[in-house]
């Protein structure tokens, strides 16, 4: 697994294979960043369910102003910290379950990356909480990666323009908050 673009382009990231972590496939990661490539520079990014940290680190490499990497697994946190050892930027690694973090945060994010365990329902819970508690900036973006069979109803989020892309067994939703 490597960083695709930016300051750290080509840098290899450590990865692991444990039951609770499913790294984003390279082609899916590349497609996600094609969707948001012009929005990252200067953005405040939240990588919730960070796993290896690959998505958040990609944002750091591409010039995000501040990046928060959140995961509740101690092995994931250790791996994220290892992957960040040679990375400079404004980032914070937080060991927390997603809901505790969201309930305690008091800022808005420009980009929120959600790659929860498939079929856990955590992504939908996170999206509902983020929207109901106004944690996304005006014109902010939520990227939600899920299994293609998930019956996620993006149409219920009328304050967002949503695009769904399918990559093999993975569906990626890009939800952009409509400007005021």
* 52, 76 Cβ separation under 8 angstroms: yes
* CA-wise closest residue to 66 among 26, 100, 112, 30: 112
| pLDDT at residue 23 in the model | 57
| pLDDT at residue 27 in the model | 75
| pLDDT at residue 20 in the model | 53
What is the pLDDT confidence band of residue 157, given thresholds at 50, 70 and 90? very high
Least trusted range by pLDDT, from 16-25, 40-49, 129-138, 164-173: 16-25
Query: What residue spans define the domains of the chain?
Result: 26-177
pLDDT at 124 over 70: yes
Residue range 81-106: mean pLDDT, rounded: 96
pTM over 0.95? The answer is no
Residue range 76-90: mean pLDDT, rounded: 94
- CATH superfamily of this structure's domain 26-177: Vaccinia Virus protein VP39 (3.40.50.150)
What's the CA angle centered on 171, arms 39 and 34, to 5 degrees?
A: 30
What tens digit of pLDDT does each residue of 13-65 get? 888 765 555 556 667 788 899 899 999 999 999 999 999 999 999 999 999 99
What is the distance between the alpha carbons of residues 14 and 8, in angstroms, rounded to a whole number?
14
């Amino acid at each position: 697994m490597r960083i695709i673009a930016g300051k750290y382009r080509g840098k290899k990231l450590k990865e692991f294979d444990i039951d609770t972590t499913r790294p984003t496939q390279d082609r899916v990661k590349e497609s996600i960043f094609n969707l948001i490539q012009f929005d990252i520079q200067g953005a405040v990014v939240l990588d919730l369910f960070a796993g290896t940290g690959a998505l958040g680190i990609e944002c750091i490499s591409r010039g995000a102003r501040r990046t928060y990497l959140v995961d509740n697994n101690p092995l994931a946190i250790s791996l994220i910290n290892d992957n960040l050892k040679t990375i400079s930027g404004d980032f914070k690694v937080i060991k927390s379950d997603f809901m505790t973090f969201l309930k305690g945060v008091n800022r808005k994010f420009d980009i929120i990356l959600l790659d929860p365990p498939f079929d856990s329902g955590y992504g939908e819970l996170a999206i509902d909480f983020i929207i109901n508690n106004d944690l996304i900036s005006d014109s902010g973006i939520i990227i939600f990666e899920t299994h293609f069979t998930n019956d996620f109803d993006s149409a219920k989020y009328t304050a967002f323009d949503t695009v769904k892309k399918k990559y093999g067994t993975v569906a990626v939703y890009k939800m952009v908050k409509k400007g005021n």
